Amino acid sequence: MKLHPYLNYGGNCAEAFRFYEEHLGGKITFMMTNSQMPNPQGALPGPPDAIMYASIELGGTRVMGNDVPPERFQPMRSFYLCLSTENDAEAEHVYNLLAEGGEIFMPIQETFFATRFGMLRDRFGASWMIIHERPMPAA
């Protein structure tokens, strides 16, 4: 069994996934618009260029997504994609990229559990935690 996050976007799924691919080292593995769907019966109503389904490999995880009608879209609440980085500089860089045009919940900073940790919602509506974990003693 595997768990994969599935994200809804309000019309900018393609833009978000391309941004994640370019700036976060992801790899889009599939992307289909409503107009490309082989059997449109039963599809959600929406513009022909809206993303019906997309998949991206990001940080060793498959993340899936699509566009929902704008009137149904709400930015993520109570759910975060947590991206763990190799060092403080990478954490700062990724945080700043995702924060541009977004909403900051917690500025990136040192905490008792991380040398860098911050929380934000990116301009596409996805909520993120960026962390460079501090080595912790074994339990």
Average pLDDT rounded to a whole number, residues 79-104: 97
* CATH no. for 6-67: 3.30.720
Task: Say what the pLDDT of residue 73 is.
Answer: 87
Residue 71 pLDDT more than 70? yes
Q: What is the pLDDT of residue 77?
A: 84
Choice between 130 and 139, residue whose per-residue pLDDT is larger: 130
Average pLDDT for the chain: 93
Fold (topology level) of 81-133: 3.30.720
Gap between the Cα atoms of 100 and 102, Å rounded: 5
Portion of the chain with pLDDT greater than 70, in percent: 96
- d(C-alpha 121, C-alpha 133), whole Å: 20
The answer, yes or no, to whether residue 139 has pLDDT greater than 80, is no
| Token pair for 125 | 């509506």
Report the alpha-carbon distance of residue 131 to residue 108 in Å, rounded.
Answer: 9
DSSP helix/strand/coil, 52: strand
- The pLDDT value recorded for residue 45 is 67
Give the mean model confidence (pLDDT) for residues 10-30. Answer: 97
Q: Encoding tokens for residue 8?
A: 């809804």
DSSP 69-135: -TTT-----S--EEEE-SSHHHHHHHHHHHHTTSEEEEEEE--SSEEEEEEEE-TTS-EEEEEEEPP
Look up residue 132 and give its two tokens. Answer: 């460079």
pLDDT at 105 over 90: yes
Could you report the per-residue pLDDT of 117-135, keeping only the tens digit for each?
999 999 999 999 999 999 8
Domain positions in the chain:
6-67, 81-133
